[in-house]
Every structure is written in C-alpha cells, then in structure tokens.
Amino acid sequence: MGNKREAVLIDVGISCRETEIRMQRLGLSLKNVRGLFVTHEHFDHTKGIAVLSKKYQIPVYITNLTLHQARLRIKPHLIVSLKPYAPVTLGELTVTAFPKRHDAVDPLSVIVANGENKVGVITDIGIACEDVIKNFAQCQAAFLESNYDEHMLDTGPYPMPLKNRIRGGHGHISNREAANLFRQHKSKFMSHIILSHLSEHNNTPAIVENLFKPIAGNTQVVVATRYRETELFYTEGGAQNSMRKPINSKQMQLSLFQ
C-alpha cells in the first residue's frame, strides 16, 4: 500500500516467496517497501514478517507486547516500537495505529495516509468499538473485516467454544455488523470498500457482495479472496475520487494479500 516511491505492508500472513510472487504480479517491488506493520501476533498475520524483514532489511513496526508474544526472530536494529495514535512517517506516507478489540495481547488496526487520502486496514475486530468507528469514518478507502454469516456460524460444524470465541466481542465481526458500520459511518467520499478476512467455513463471497452492494451508493465494493491478491486500485483523497489515473503524490495504490 502506497505510491511508487514509498510503500508499506500491513501484516504478512503468507510466506516471503509468495509475497514476492504476488507483488510481482501487480507490478510492485519490495524494494519500495519502507516498513512492515504488525497489528497482532496471530500466525495468519505474521508468517512472512521475519524472513521479509531479514531479506530486504525492512524495519518492523510492532508493539513491545506483540513482539514478545509473537516470538518473531527479527534483528534488533530492524525493530521499531509501535504505539497507538503515534504517527509514523515514511516518506510521503503516514501510518497511525489505533486500538481495537480482539483476542490478542495488544491488538491494533491502522490508517495509512498520503495527504488527504486515508486508507484503513480494519480487520480482526471483535466489535465496532469507538476507536474503530472514529477511524473508519475518516477513510477514503478501507479494508474492512466481514468475517462470518451468523446463520452459517450457528448451524455450522464448529464446536460451541469456538463459535462463542468468534462472536463474543473479541473475535471477529459478522457480515451484518460490518454492514451496519459501513452504512452508518462511512464517509461521503469513500471510493472503495474491500471486504476482507472472510471465514472459509462460515461465509461466502456471494453473501457478502449481496449484502453490501445495495447499500454502497458510489462506493466500489470488492470482496477479497484468500487465494489471490486483489487487483490494484488507485484512490485519491478528498470529496472527489478518481480511479485508474496515473499515481501522483496525492494518490495511493492499494491491494490485499489475504
């Protein structure tokens, strides 16, 4: 996520090699990545972090508690302490982390800004808490979790303790909860919503798409797949948005490797 001069990666839940392949398919280079940001310690968000950091000498921005819990083998000179609401400036990009509710030791989500353009990476949220609502409302575009269909979870094969963990306020949010957040708090100038972190067993892309498209208005709805990167989107800040224009200092590229 970023422009041609600076880029950041938020969580890397796939291997270093798979990250390289997916970025190459999008015409992006890891040589432009200025920082790796870790939102929490779960393996599906940290798998590729240590190898990427070592191979490309990329700093890893992570809270002290998350670093300890994740047990990532990162060279000390590449570790940068990440704190909520303490902006990190990397070239023309500014990354600001904020707290959320999730069953991790010190969970955060982030907003990546380039001028007026703000993109939220808001997944693994147990509930749309005040911090999530406040930051989501600022976004020109957002990766938003839409994890499960409530009926599928209720009637599915998961054991009851796992079902309760998912829907208990510190796990994940349902399609309905995500749609309510989107409907009630999206900005008037939101150009893209990329629905993310769909459960493999308790959700389908069709269910999510059918829920969001009728309420999207002028916002482009994209449902991310876990099997391939999303296409590359361009987004421009402010009340007017532009897609598929050449990148300039007030625009950002964004894609998701789930």
Q: Is 195 within a domain?
A: yes
Of 208, 150, 141, 219, nearest to 179 by C-alpha is 208
Report yes or no: 145 and 180 within 8 Å, Cβ to Cβ.
no
- CATH code of the domain covering residue 31: 3.60.15.10
Report yes or no: 138 and 187 within 8 Å, Cβ to Cβ.
yes
Encode pLDDT of 177-226 as tens digits: 999 999 999 999 999 999 999 999 999 999 999 999 999 999 999 999 88
Encode pLDDT of 157-167 as tens digits: 999 999 999 99
Please count the structural domains in the chain: 1
What tokens appear for 114 in the block?
A: 């380039």
pTM here is 0.91
H-run or E-run covering 98: strand 93-99
- pLDDT of 246 above 70: no
Those residues with Cβ within 8 angstroms of residue 249's Cβ, 6 or more apart along the chain or in another chain: 3, 92, 114, 115
Q: Is 147 within a domain?
A: yes
Q: Print burial letters for 158-189: b (CB count within 10 Å at least 16), e (below 16).
A: beeeebebbbeebbbbbbebbbebbeebbbeb
- pLDDT of 240 above 60: no
- pLDDT of 247 above 80: no
Q: Is 19 within a domain?
A: yes
**Which pLDDT band, with edges at 50, 70 and 90, does 237 fall under?**
low
Q: Is 1 within a domain?
A: no
What tokens appear for 178 in the block?
A: 């995500």
Q: Is 2 within a domain?
A: no
Q: Which range marks the domain in which residue 169 is found?
A: 7-254
